[in-house]
Amino acid sequence: MAPLGISCGKKDGAPKDQSSQVNIAALFDSRRDPFRNSQSHLLQRLVQTRGATKLRMWDAAGNANLQSNQFAAALAARPDFIFVFPVNPEVLAPALNRLDGSGPRIFVFADIVSKNPRSSVIVCPDAEVGRVTGEFLIQSLRLKAAEEGGTEPAGRIVELTTAPPAVSHAGYSDGLLKSIWQQPGITVVHQAQCKLLSEDTAERVKEALLLQKDFDVIFAHNDLIARAASKAVAAANPELIGRILVLGVDGNLGKGGGREMIIKGEIDASICRPPLVDLAWAITERCLSDPKFVPKPRYEVPPVALNYESAIEVGRTGIPTPPVD
């Protein structure tokens, strides 16, 4: 297949018009992950807004070696742009760094050290998700303490992580602990792994109730697990409904996502991770319209904590796409 001739980041050439075909390869670590699946659907919708654009999608199903082969195959097809969600950034980095400055524009959705001048890292760091989680919990527990006549925030947290082979978000835990370490009354008392789609969450919650007897917060690493945990608490002891704050992560704004769960009262809050592909697509559009434009090597987009009020608000306003400059 002949080179497609995109010159984004170079000082010569003309804008690629809507009639010229643009080829995009998207390599996912695992579309089984609910958040990743939502990103893939958003990318498809964005691509459809531009004529003469072909999107080919790959799914590594959590296998880093398979993704390495898929990355090589994608490069061989000589696309204009590659969107890649690494299974393991350390495995992908050598292949990325072997590339020179004449290949496709590559967007990497993970923290990775890249020497490739045509790659841009676009991330919402896991540690930042954990930090925002901690700040939200401190504020919530401070309000609870004030209502009960106390002066300092206090609470016992049960943390439900995702079990292998799901993508690990250990940074959530690290960021949370760093955020709450100066609050002696707030502590993580129990941690358990749950299957990605929450199939075993009820059992993990029963174990937490048996072992801990009493706690104030369930922090789940995705909204599906949070919703299942909330149902499990209600089934085990209806008196705990409303007393335990149930918080998830992802905050998908679409149908059935975390925002809708909050509004329906299925969970109390969620840390909304930005979709990131909207920013990558905005950069793509800028590259296509202005061949002299050079994307930054790194874009970092913060998460947003959603409670009921803010979930209603973002339903009207959305979460704005960060500027590409």
Q: What is the CATH number of the domain that holds 140?
A: 3.40.50.2300
**Quick check: is 15 in a domain?**
no
pLDDT of residue 235: 95
pLDDT of residue 7: 35
Q: Do residues 88 and 173 share a domain?
A: no
Using 50, 70 and 90 to split pLDDT, how confident is the model at 72? Answer: very high
Taking the C-alpha atoms of residue 178 and residue 186, their distance in angstroms, rounded to an integer, is: 12
Alpha helices per DSSP H over the chain: 34-47, 64-76, 89-97, 126-147, 170-180, 201-212, 223-236, 258-263, 277-289, 308-317
As for how many domains the chain has, the answer is: 2
* Mean pLDDT of all residues in 155-160: 98
**Quick check: is 4 in a domain?**
no
Report percent pLDDT > 70 for the chain.
94
> What three-state secondary structure class fits 276?
coil
pLDDT at 3 over 50: no
The predicted-structure confidence for 111-127, as pLDDT tens digits, reads as follows 888 888 899 999 999 99
Which strand ranges, in their side-by-side order, compose the sheet holding 186-194?
Answer: 186-194, 155-162, 217-220, 245-250, 269-272, 304-306
Q: Do residues 165 and 184 share a domain?
A: yes
Best-predicted range by mean pLDDT (9-18, 91-100, 173-182): 173-182
Using 50, 70 and 90 to split pLDDT, how confident is the model at 19? Answer: low
Q: Do residues 289 and 233 share a domain?
A: no
> What three-state secondary structure class fits 74?
helix
Q: Do residues 88 and 206 share a domain?
A: no
pLDDT of residue 249: 98
Q: Do residues 75 and 206 share a domain?
A: no
Q: Which helix (H) or strand (E) holds 24?
A: strand 22-28
Q: Do residues 204 and 255 share a domain?
A: yes
pLDDT of residue 323: 83
- With both helix axes pointing from N to C terminus, report the angle between 126-147 and 170-180 in degrees, rounded to the nearest 10: 40
Q: Are strands 217-220 and 155-162 parallel, antiparallel or unpaired?
A: parallel
> Which structural domain, as residue segments, surrounds residue 70?
22-124+275-294
Taking the C-alpha atoms of residue 263 and residue 90, their distance in angstroms, rounded to an integer, is: 39
> What three-state secondary structure class fits 45?
helix
Q: Do residues 132 and 243 share a domain?
A: yes
* Mean pLDDT of all residues in 202-230: 97
Which amino acid, 26? A
Q: Do residues 120 and 253 share a domain?
A: no
Spatial CB neighbours of 232, under 8 Å, sequence gap ≥ 6: 201, 202, 205, 206
Using 50, 70 and 90 to split pLDDT, how confident is the model at 15? Answer: low
**Quick check: is 227 in a domain?**
yes
pLDDT of residue 12: 40
**Quick check: is 64 in a domain?**
yes
Tokens of 15: 């804008």
pLDDT of residue 9: 39
> Running DSSP on this structure, what letter comes out for residue 264?
T
**Quick check: is 9 in a domain?**
no
Q: 76 with 53: CB under 8 angstroms?
A: no
* Mean pLDDT of all residues in 214-240: 95
Using 50, 70 and 90 to split pLDDT, how confident is the model at 203? Answer: very high
* Mean pLDDT of all residues in 242-267: 95
